[in-house]
Structures are given as C-alpha cells and as structure tokens.
Amino acid sequence: MCLGHFQRKTLDIVFELVTPRNINVVVLLLKKEVMKTQSGKLEKNEEYRQMLIQAIHSYAIKFPKVANIVVHLMMDFLGDINVASAIDVIVFVREIIETNPKLRVSIITWLLDTFY
C-alpha cells in the first residue's frame, strides 16, 4: 500500500473521532500540515495537499464555527499548481460564501483585492 492510502485512512479515522471539543486542535494541525506541503520536503506534496484541503472542507461543513479559522488559509491555494486542489478550494470558498453570511464580505473583499 502506498503512503497516500495511509494518509487518506488516517484522515478518515480522525474525521470520525473529531468532536466540537477538539475540532480547533485538529484544524490547527491540518493547517500546519498544509503549510508543510508548500515546503517541498514531503513526498507527493500535491496529492497530500489535496487530501488535506478536502479534509478541512469537510470539517468546515461538519463544524461551521471553524470556517472562519480556515477560509483565508484555503484561499491562498486558489492559484495552486495542482488544478484539482485549486478546484477543491473554489468549491470550498463558494460553499462558505453561501452558508456563512458573516464571512461573505471579508471573502469577497479578499477575492477582489487579489484578482482585480
């Protein structure tokens, strides 16, 4: 079995074990892991980064209070070389805009400042 398979299984197990009490710690750990994938030190960074982005997206849906913690980090990956990761981020940002009115203005402002 490959490393990616174990990473996916680990993320799946953690997802099942996360509770409102420990979600902030888990999200902070995932944010650190995403940042590590930018350093180029990990094997198969793009695949792992995509798994992490998908996991963070799932956590933000399951626990909406963490969306404000991760949305701006996720938007940094809109221009990712890995097209699949960038698409995952676009879907995530769109969903956060639709479901979190409090974050809507800051997200749209960031997008306009970045791409306009």
Q: What is the pLDDT of residue 45?
A: 80
Q: pLDDT at position 39, please?
A: 74
Is residue 69 within 8 Å of residue 27, measured between CB atoms? yes
Candidates 96, 66, 62, 63; CA nearest to 78 is 96
Phi, psi of 39 (to 5 degrees): -75, -20
- DSSP H or E segment with residue 84: helix 83-99
pLDDT one digit per residue (tens) for the chain, 116 residues:
576 788 899 999 999 999 999 999 999 999 899 888 877 665 578 888 889 999 999 999 899 889 888 888 888 888 777 788 889 889 999 999 998 898 899 999 988 988 77
Give the list of residues 6+ apart from residue 88 with CB closer than 8 angstroms, or none: 50, 53, 54, 57
Query: Does residue 92 contact residue 74 with C-beta atoms inside 8 Å?
Result: yes
The token pair at 111 is 């997008």
Buried b (16+ CB within 10 A) or exposed e, 83-105: eebbebbeebbeebbeebeebee
Task: Please state the domain extents for the chain.
Answer: 3-115
**pTM for the complete prediction?**
0.83
Q: How far apart are CA 59 and CA 109, in angstroms?
A: 24
